[in-house]
Each structure stands twice: as structure tokens, then as C-alpha cells.
């Protein structure tokens, strides 16, 4: 792979240049892949791999299904398919059930070629995994999570949401009785999805005024100004004179990916400082990967769990010095 300069301008740009860095990485991998195939199997192209492998594993497949399954445009699939047909590794056929549809399938030469290439595919996979392991973290898992995020909402929508946030389309408000039901339902939704509702949940969610507000805490709500709809919530629970807990953060499905959680977290931290707390803590579970990432972004640091939690699902404890 081509060397990437230590002083990298795209790296300096951070998330702004994510697309450019991913393309650069993809181009470098394709270039090196072609060099590998040229050494061991001349004539095979790295860009063919996804379509070639899909047809091997799934069997005869239409262009439409291929495009959807690989997340590639129809023209892109057509171009690769035509190259594979020209190489006599793939052949077009009429669908048995619908003669109007064309499906693609590996030829006998294509099936033989796959068997010949399998050891190379295995070595490439192992070399790539070793590179990922060397870099630290699970890049494939993070990449999958990123793709899933964009699957829920494309980048154009996220950009629009950010503009809305900057223009004040979402307002953070403090507790009032009319919001109590939203506090309960938003939190019950994620708890029931990932875990089981516990007695401590029922107490706090059933009576936020008595369990949180009357004891020196607060519950914040993210409200969409246009519709006056609660789309997120988070509680600040007083524990001791100088310590408070960030708890019961929940965001509606439609608001996920719109930085509502970040806005709520920042608001809770600001409120905690304003009320004189010196330390903000939280309990969570490691399976809530997006939430843990958000807490780290807010500055929370993982610490040993100091005492048994009243929630059985807790397996991570974090603190933030204010």
C-alpha cells in the first residue's frame, strides 16, 4: 500500500475529510489487491471480488438484487458484470420464472476460478485482519456501525438536522408534569428493547417529580419547537452534596442520529456545573455502544465500579470532573 505521509492534511481536517480518507484507503487497497492478483492469478481484478464472491455464495442473481445486496449502483454492477462476462467467468441467463429478467451466474470456468482463488482470498483476509488488529480496536465493527447509521439516515438529512440544531429547532426544557409521560415512555422503550425493566426503573420513571426533582435533581427534555414534541430526555440525579448522576437518557427513534443525545448530555453537564456539583457519574452497559461513545465524547472516563448498582444490567461506571 502506498505510504501515507505522517503530516497528513486530510487527517488535520478530521471528520470533514472522512469521505476523502475512506476513498484514499479504498483506492490503495484496490491497487494493492490488483498487484497481489497479478502476481498469483494474472487477469483477475480486485474490483471483481464482491460480485464474483456474491454469485459464488448466492447463486444466480439479478442485477437489481446484486446492486441492493452490495450497495452499489446499477451502472456500477453492470460495468463489473460485463467485464466478468468478457472474462468468461460469468454468463447472463433468463430468469426461469420471469423471462423478462436477466440473471447472472458463474460459468464452469468461474466456479473453477473461485476454487483456485480461495487460498488467496483466505490469505488476504488474514493479512487484512492482522493489519486491523495491529491498529487497535475493531475497525470492521466500527465501519458496520457507521454504515448502519447512514442507513438509518443519510448524510444530507444529518446535515439538515445539524442546521436545525444550530438554528434552535430543538429546545432544551426543564421538567414539568406534562412531560412526565414522555420521560417514562422514552426510557421504557430502550430498557425493554435491550434489558428487562427493574423495580428501580419503575420507581424513578413512575414518579420523576418525587424521585428526582424533590431531591434536588432535574429532568431535561429535548423538544422539537415546530411540533412541540418531546424527542429526548435525560435526568440529573443528586447523589451527594458535590456529586450527581447523569441517568435515564433516552432519544426517540425518529431523533436518533440527530445529535439530540449530545445536546442533552451537554445541557446536563452545564446544569450540574451551575448547581455546584464537582463530579458527575453514570452507570451503563457495554452493549449500548453508541451511548458509551457519546459519554466518552462528553469527557466521561471509565472507572472501577465503586459499589453494587441497584440495576442488574450495569457493567460499566464512568465519571466526569466538573
∠ CA 313-271-233, rounded to 5°? 45
Are 133 and 263 contained in the same domain?
no
Q: Which of 18-32, 83-97, 289-303 has the highest mean pLDDT?
A: 289-303
Residue 3 lies inside a defined structural domain of this protein: no
Q: For residues 286 and 292, is the Cβ–Cβ distance under 8 A?
A: yes
Q: Which domain holds residue 263?
A: 155-321
For residue 286, the 8-state DSSP code is: T
pTM above 0.95, yes or no: no
pLDDT at position 6 is 47
DSSP assignments along 97-129, one per residue: S-TT-EEEEE-HHHHHHHHHHHHHHHHHHHHHH
Cα–Cα distance for residue pair 204/210, rounded to 1 Å? 8
* Residue with more model confidence, 169 or 160: 169
Last residue of a domain, one of 107, 127, 146: 146
**Range name among 41-55, 110-124, 162-176, 290-304 with the lowest pLDDT average:** 162-176
> What pLDDT, in 10s, does the model give residues 190-236?
999 999 999 999 999 999 999 999 999 999 999 987 678 899 999 99
Per-range mean pLDDT, top range of 149-163, 229-243, 254-268? 229-243
Same domain membership, residue 126 and residue 176: no
Residue 153 burial (10 A CB sphere; 0-12, 13-18, 19+): middle
Q: How many domains does the chain have?
A: 2
CATH number at residue 223: 3.40.630.30
Amino acid at each position: 500500500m502506498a505510504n501515507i505521509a505522517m503530516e497528513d492534511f486530510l487527517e488535520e481536517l478530521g471528520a470533514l475529510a472522512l469521505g476523502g480518507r475512506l476513498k484514499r484507503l479504498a483506492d490503495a487497497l484496490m491497487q494493492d489487491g490488483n498487484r497481489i492478483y497479478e502476481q498469483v492469478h494474472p487477469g483477475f481484478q480486485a474490483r471483481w471480488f464482491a460480485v464474483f464472491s456474491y454469485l459464488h455464495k448466492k447463486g444466480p442473481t439479478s442485477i437489481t438484487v446484486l446492486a441492493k445486496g452490495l450497495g452499489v449502483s446499477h451502472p456500477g454492477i453492470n460495468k463489473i458484470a460485463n467485464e466478468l462476462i468478457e472474462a468468461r467467468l460469468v454468463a447472463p441467463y433468463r430468469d426461469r420464472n420471469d423471462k423478462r429478467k436477466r440473471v447472472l451466474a458463474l460459468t464452469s470456468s468461474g466456479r473453477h476460478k473461485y476454487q483456485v482463488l480461495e487460498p488467496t482470498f483466505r490469505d488476504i483476509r488474514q493479512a487484512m485482519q492482522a493489519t486491523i488488529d495491529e491498529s487497535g480496536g475493531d475497525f470492521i465493527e466500527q465501519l458496520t456501525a457507521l454504515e448502519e447509521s447512514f442507513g438509518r439516515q443519510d448524510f444530507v438529512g444529518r446535515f439538515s438536522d445539524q442546521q436545525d440544531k444550530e438554528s434552535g429547532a430543538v429546545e432544551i426544557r426543564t421538567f414539568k408534569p406534562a412531560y412526565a409521560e414522555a420521560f417514562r415512555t422514552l426510557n421504557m422503550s430502550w430498557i425493554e428493547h435491550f434489558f428487562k425493566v427493574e423495580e428501580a426503573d419503575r420507581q424513578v420513571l413512575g414518579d420523576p417529580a418525587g424521585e428526582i426533582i424533590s431531591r434536588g435533581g432535574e429532568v431535561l427534555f429535548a423538544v422539537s419547537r415546530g411540533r412541540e414534541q418531546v424527542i429526548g430526555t435525560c435526568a440529573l440525579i443528586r447523589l451527594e452534596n458535590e456529586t450527581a448522576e447523569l441517568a435515564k437518557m433516552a432519544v426517540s427513534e425518529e431523533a436518533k442520529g440527530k445529535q439530540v443525545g449530545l445536546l442533552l448530555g451537554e445541557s446536563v453537564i452545564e446544569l450540574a456545573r451551575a448547581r455546584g456539583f464537582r463530579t458527575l457519574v453514570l452507570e451503563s452497559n457495554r452493549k449500548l455502544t453508541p451511548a458509551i461513545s457519546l459519554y466518552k465524547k462528553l469527557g466521561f472516563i471509565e472507572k472501577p465500579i465503586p459499589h453494587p448498582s441497584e440495576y442488574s444490567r450495569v457493567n460499566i461506571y464512568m465519571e466526569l470532573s466538573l
